[in-house]
Amino acid sequence: MKKMIARLCGVLFLMPVAGYAADRGCFDMARWDAILSDIQTNAAAAGVNDATIRAVIKSPAFIPSIVKSDANQAEFKLTLDQYLARTISSTRITRGVDMAGQYPTMLGRVEAKYGVPRHVILAFWGLESNYGAVRARHKLADAFLTLIYEGRRETFFKKQLLSLMKTASKNNLDITQISGSWAGAMGHFQFIPTTLEQYGVDGNGDGKIDIIHSVGDAMFSAGNYLNKLGWDAHQRIVRRVELPADFDRSLLDGATKKSLSEWAAMGVRMPGGGDIPMADMTAGLVADLNQSAILAGDVASMATDAQSVDTDIAPRPVIVAYLTYPNFYRIKKWNSSNWYAIAVATLADALKQ
């Protein structure tokens, strides 16, 4: 083990990374051994079986590419329309319809037990792993050990590794066969280990929870998670609306919530100008402000030209936004991105039958 890791010294010296490796220019074997010892002690105290502990510490691998990925995470700034174009393709919708036909009984069981409609489960599945088509690259135990060593979020990744070991031990799974993304997400719905430990469910009745190899376990776990988040099957997620050009854009952050009647009084309308449906609930508003600014400029120019001919022509609504209902905020506990939540809603609507 020491000889294998020693060869990484030159690689780390050439590749600046966070934590101890960057400070010393070489792999810190003492730190690595201390991490393994700490994991062994904590896992044993948590009741993890000896087989799982041995599997993690017997031949651990440090993965430099993971350190590089963590240190160089790109921040992509897409407009909402660009994001939706990337995530809600006709191919993804077609494949979702196919999956609905392939797993009607399982989806029905999830819906009956957890109150989460099948088109919602399918939407999460489609966005998270393209219905299981996305294959994991890394052995998760080694990925977590690498990220623990890197040190940027050491406490978080220690918690994830221990949780993974507990799940593997409890369900008699070979931890060396559990793979995931470099950051630790795994399975059809890309759960991290602590989420799996808290919400994982045996959906196929084999006495184990395996969200990587069992679609049933994955679907039931996703349904259970959304149910615990308070999913309401009788509510929409979002509604596309239009706002007047002079609408206060500081309210379009999703955090400001008002009753639907209050939003209507402020000029929120259905596309085309109709009244928004009323219900006894509060909602927020989310809009792509960059895109709206572009549209506002174009339409303001058009309105000025029009008014020079006929002063009775009123400016048409120029800000496209989304009313965000309570289920929207439940999705954000799964993934905090506004665009992600709107994408789930859009795909779910496309898959609703």
pLDDT tens column, 322-342? 999 999 999 999 999 999 999
Q: Which two tokens stand for residue 11?
A: 């690689």
Q: By percentage, how much of the chain surpasses pLDDT 70? A: 84
Average pLDDT estimate for 105-134? 97
Average pLDDT estimate for 115-127? 98
Q: Distance between CA atoms of 82 and 86, rounded to whole angstroms? A: 6
Predicted TM-score of the model (pTM): 0.86
What pLDDT, on the 0 to 100 scale, is given for residue 12? 39
- HSE-CB at 168 with a 13 A cutoff on CA atoms is 26
CA 290 to the chain's CA centroid: 23
What pLDDT, on the 0 to 100 scale, is given for residue 302? 33
Average pLDDT estimate for 50-56? 97
Domains annotated on the chain, with CATH: 2-73+137-185 (1.10.8.350), 238-324 (no CATH)
What pLDDT, on the 0 to 100 scale, is given for residue 305? 40
What pLDDT, on the 0 to 100 scale, is given for residue 25? 56
Angle between helices 140-150 and 50-57 (to 10 degrees): 60
What pLDDT, on the 0 to 100 scale, is given for residue 316? 52
Question: Where does residue 138 fall: left (phi above 0), alpha (psi -120 to 50 degrees), or beta otherwise?
Answer: beta
Cβ atoms within 10 Å of 263's Cβ, excluding its own: 22
What pLDDT, on the 0 to 100 scale, is given for residue 314? 40
What pLDDT, on the 0 to 100 scale, is given for residue 353? 77
Average pLDDT estimate for 131-158? 93
- HSE-CB at 334 with a 13 A cutoff on CA atoms is 32
Average pLDDT estimate for 297-314? 39
Average pLDDT estimate for 212-216? 95
Binning pLDDT at 50, 70 and 90, where does residue 310 land? very low
Q: Distance between CA atoms of 179 and 115, rounded to whole angstroms? A: 30
Binning pLDDT at 50, 70 and 90, where does residue 23 land? very low
What pLDDT, on the 0 to 100 scale, is given for residue 18? 39
What one-character DSSP code corresponds to residue 135? P
What pLDDT, on the 0 to 100 scale, is given for residue 50? 98
- Closest by alpha carbon to 169, among 61, 46, 42? 46
pLDDT score of 167 more than 90? yes
What pLDDT, on the 0 to 100 scale, is given for residue 135? 78
Residue with tokens 């993304």: 181
Q: Give the residue, 289 or 179, on which the prediction is more confident.
A: 179
Average pLDDT for the chain: 87
Binning pLDDT at 50, 70 and 90, where does residue 298 land? very low
pLDDT score of 307 more than 90? no
- HSE-CB at 297 with a 13 A cutoff on CA atoms is 5
Q: Distance between CA atoms of 54 and 68, rounded to whole angstroms? A: 28
Q: Distance between CA atoms of 292 and 294, rounded to whole angstroms? A: 5
Average pLDDT estimate for 167-186? 95
Q: Give the residue, 294 or 231, on which the prediction is more confident.
A: 231
Who's near 238: CB < 8 A, 6+ residues apart? 286, 322, 323, 324, 325, 328, 341, 342, 345
Average pLDDT estimate for 152-156? 94
pLDDT tens column, 273-297? 999 999 999 999 999 987 644 444 4
pLDDT score of 166 more than 60? yes
Residue type, 256: T
